[in-house]
Amino acid sequence: MDGPLSDLIVIDLTRALAGPHAAMMLADQGARVIKVEPPAGDDTRSWGPPFVGPEEARESTYFLSANRNKESVVLDLKDPADSDVLARLVERADVLMENYRSGVLERLGFGTERLHALNPRLVVLSITGFGHDGPEAQRAGYDQIAQGEGGLMSLTGSETPTKVGVPIADLVAGMNGAFGVLAALHERERTGRGRVVRTSLLAGMVGVHAFQGTRWTVAGEVPGPAGAHHPSISPYGLFETGTAPIQIACGSEGLWRALCAALDLDATDARFATNADRVAHRDALTGLLEAHFATDPAEHWLEVLRAAGVPSGKVRTLDDVYAWEQTRSQGLLLDVEHPTLGALQLPGSPLRFDDAAHSGGRATHLPPPRLGEHTEAVRAWLDT
């Protein structure tokens, strides 16, 4: 094993996406992550289409997205013998991650007291849907529900509440969880003891409200959907051209003046004198800009804006993103060899270290495991 976390052993009891994403973040940095799955496997092994591979060994692309660099061990935690295997894993681990509903792990015999009795240095990450306590602690955690309950859908789209196109509540909860684990591991260096880190899908959604949150908590305004434009900055959003939409981000008065110069617009127009004025007259400004942009194709305007130093860009489809040379130059695609699927390209870690051309902290990356692929090897390791 290699990478900055290569001295860590992580037991991943999670399924679906939030927990597996947190564990994969540590695995990308070299941690040995042992994914403990029930006999039926992680739920996402059946989430599709699309599925790939031969019928007798098909794999869900959803599962492949969140489980690289892990080992898979199958345990039935209701079986005393398999429960004993988990206890032995806990004794050797640095981190245990779980995303059961509150109380389930205790009923399986692995409450916090027992975990720390087995291993006082263990850091435990617990991810729930709505928090481990409070009046709605027992609610199941699903991204779609959390995006709505956490307010994000009320800010997204134009008129109808719209969810983000990826499971953002799961992903943010996973990122928060991984960050909390590293904080607890750092603290352990001083105290010699582990602790429980808790986060939730709800916490992740509230935690990314950013300026929209303080619009309510400080200014008393209830934000609504802003569509493809920024609610507090203008022009800052999506604009139609003669062929395809482009995006513009004028985040300062200097950039606004540069845009006016590039497009031969009147920078002294009183309706648009300040950012507050431009926000107040957004519809008029959008109409003015789009009438201008309608005369030429998107690529022409992107070139004009680049030359003027105005931040701008196109809206790429995912095939275009992964073919884009800038994406590839950042090491954001990983090549792995899967035992049944052969050569695969996977989206990589967003982190890149100064001594590597690829993403993640490891020199080599492993494919997502087949169900139970490492059961015997891990059991043998426990016997050494």
DSSP string, 98-150: E-PPTTHHHHTT--HHHHHHH-TT-EEEEEESS-SSSTTTTS---HHHHHHHT
CA 131, CA 209: separation in Å to the nearest integer? 18
Q: Which two tokens stand for residue 364?
A: 């080599």
Determine the distance from the C-alpha atom of residue 189 to the mean position of all C-alpha atoms in its chain, rounded to a whole number: 28
| H-only helix segments in the chain | 18-28, 61-65, 80-92, 104-107, 112-118, 143-149, 152-155, 168-191, 201-207, 211-217, 253-263, 275-280, 282-293, 298-308, 318-323, 325-329, 375-382
The C-alpha atoms of residue 348 and residue 342 are separated, in whole angstroms, by 18
Smallest CA-to-CA distance from 282 within 242, 240, 245, 231 is with 231
Say how far apart CA 202 and CA 195 lie, in whole Å: 21
What distance in Å separates the CA atoms of residue 177 and residue 197, rounded to the nearest whole number? 7
User: Which residue out of 12, 28, 170, 277 is catalytically annotated?
Assistant: 170
Collect all residues with Cβ–Cβ distance below 8 Å to 204 and sequence separation of at least 6.
Answer: 146, 150, 169, 172, 173, 175, 176
Rounded distance between C-alpha atoms, residue 202 and residue 188, angstroms: 27
Catalytic residue list contains 269: no
Task: List Cβ<8 Å contacts ≥24 apart for 254-262.
Answer: 255/309, 255/310, 255/311, 258/308, 258/309, 258/310, 259/235, 259/305, 259/308, 259/310, 261/308, 262/304, 262/305, 262/307, 262/308, 262/310
Q: Which residues are catalytic?
A: 170
